[in-house]
Amino acid sequence: MSLRAFLSSRVVTPDGVRPAAVLVEGEQIRGVVSADRLSAGTQTHDFGDAAILPGLVDSHVHINDPGRADWEGFETATRSAAAGGYTVLVDMPLNCLPATTDVGALTAKRAAALDRCRVDWMAWGGVVAGNQSEIEPLAAAGVVGFKCFLVHPGIDGFTMVTEQELRSALPAIARTGLPLLAHAELPDPIDLATENLRDSDWTDYETYLQSRPEEAELSAIRMLLSLCREYKFRLHIVHLSASAALPELRRARSEGLAVSVETCPHYLHFSADEIPKRGTIFKCAPPIRGRENRERLWEGLRDGTIDLVATDHSPCPPEMKRLAEGTFRNVWGGIASLSMALSVMHTEASKRGFSLNDIAHWMAEAPAKLAGCDARKGRIASGYDADFVVFEPESEFVVREERLHYRHPISAYLGETLCGVVKATYLRGAVVYQGGEFPSEAVGQEYRR
Ligand SMILES: [Zn+2]
């Protein structure tokens, strides 16, 4: 098979950002070499000063298919992923119907995904009340880890687990060696706060924020860390919002517990004081908190207490955000951002002195490791899949509906000016996105360990 070379003055490799040629043969990277070492006749694609980053891996996405494909679906989610520079999505076990809590449901998801994906994908399994006996069969069938909720997930079809129910599942989870991803909020602090806010104005974001206090996250994380000590499983905290938990997480890591942490672009970009009255498009759980909290999350990324950034892309039909009515109490909580996340992160990270290398670590290498696809995904290096993003870091654009590419073009980011444009995305050597177009067929596949 013939060699192709992808050239740029800024190739983001595990050893740093440098001018190089990425050699691709078929679907794989064969090497990263200096451009003057290319042999004559090699087919070249010269991207000049646009950066080449590894294809991003999003370890936290709600594709909602099968069952709620009118909310999103494999075609639209993977299309917006390709437009955003992602080459692997790891789908959450809920919002789809049936929820991925047994092998039959995983089979149904595979059927829904077949021949409809523009990027590669993987599946998390679910831990719910009463499916302990399904955990090892799900692992054998190919889920890459498990997700549980310690609080009501806000949707039917997936149940939360109590500490007792979680305890009965943990021995099986530990035996699989796969990570347990936890939505870390406990119900009691939320229920108490919500009761006290009964007569408050729920069109104010502040009311919603007060209803989900940091204490809910803190108490859940404390419980999970102590279970992690006891049962010795791999624990991953999804979408950390409360920076107050960072000191405890830091200590847990220094004592050697197998714990990893993620946060999301919306917690790193927005702050509570900017969210307008009736701005239900910003509702997510845990909530976007204050400005100082946001800056402490950035410090968590800087010192490595937070390992990775995932989108928690969780779209819904516009009517479920009840934008006209604007009360935060009962609307769907979830922020969709697959096609924007890299630009959002670059805009914010570059202001704080971070590099493209940091972004590649948070958004490609570390999530690939969490999902167990790091033998072939998440790096530009010999032997890896030829997955990469061509990115113009200095170009600015305004977020408009036509750039979103997921099913319902609503977004908390509409109208914002962001810095950094995805020009093209390559999946296993094939161009899956280029300048607003999707040239390839649906060549995405399930990545199997
Ligand atoms: Zn989620």
Cα 212 to Cα 219: distance, rounded to the nearest angstrom: 12
Centroid of ligand 1 to alpha carbon of 22 (angstroms) = 34
Centroid of ligand 1 to alpha carbon of 95 (angstroms) = 9
Centroid of ligand 1 to alpha carbon of 265 (angstroms) = 13
Centroid of ligand 1 to alpha carbon of 324 (angstroms) = 25
Which residues are CB-neighbours of 448 under 8 A, at least 6 positions away?
142
For 18-42, give one letter per residue: b (16+ CB within 10 A) or e: eebbbbbeebbbbbbeeeeebeeee
- Please list the rounded mean pLDDT of every run of 10 residues in the chain (449 residues): 93 95 97 91 95 98 96 97 98 96 98 98 97 98 98 90 97 98 98 97 97 98 98 98 98 97 98 96 97 98 98 92 87 94 98 98 98 98 98 98 95 97 98 96 93
Q: How many CB atoms lie within 10 A of CB 160?
A: 18
Centroid of ligand 1 to alpha carbon of 325 (angstroms) = 24
Centroid of ligand 1 to alpha carbon of 54 (angstroms) = 24
Is the dihedral angle over the CA atoms 129, 131, 133, 136 positive or is it negative? negative
Centroid of ligand 1 to alpha carbon of 127 (angstroms) = 14
Centroid of ligand 1 to alpha carbon of 60 (angstroms) = 6
Centroid of ligand 1 to alpha carbon of 65 (angstroms) = 14
Nearest to 146 by CA among 125, 177, 120: 125
Cα 33 to Cα 11: distance, rounded to the nearest angstrom: 10
Centroid of ligand 1 to alpha carbon of 238 (angstroms) = 8
Q: What is the end-to-end Cα distance of the chain in Å, rounded?
A: 25
Nearest to 349 by CA among 6, 9, 8, 12: 12
Centroid of ligand 1 to alpha carbon of 178 (angstroms) = 18
Centroid of ligand 1 to alpha carbon of 38 (angstroms) = 44
91, 63 contact by CB (below 8 A): yes
* Residue 85 CB-half CA count within 13 A: 31
Q: Which residues pair with 90 in a beta bridge?
A: 122
Centroid of ligand 1 to alpha carbon of 192 (angstroms) = 23
Centroid of ligand 1 to alpha carbon of 302 (angstroms) = 24
Cα 393 to Cα 289: distance, rounded to the nearest angstrom: 28
Query: Structure pTM?
Result: 0.98
332, 281 contact by CB (below 8 A): no
Cα 378 to Cα 360: distance, rounded to the nearest angstrom: 8
Centroid of ligand 1 to alpha carbon of 47 (angstroms) = 35
pLDDT of residue 1: 66
Cα 95 to Cα 274: distance, rounded to the nearest angstrom: 29
95, 71 contact by CB (below 8 A): yes
Centroid of ligand 1 to alpha carbon of 214 (angstroms) = 18
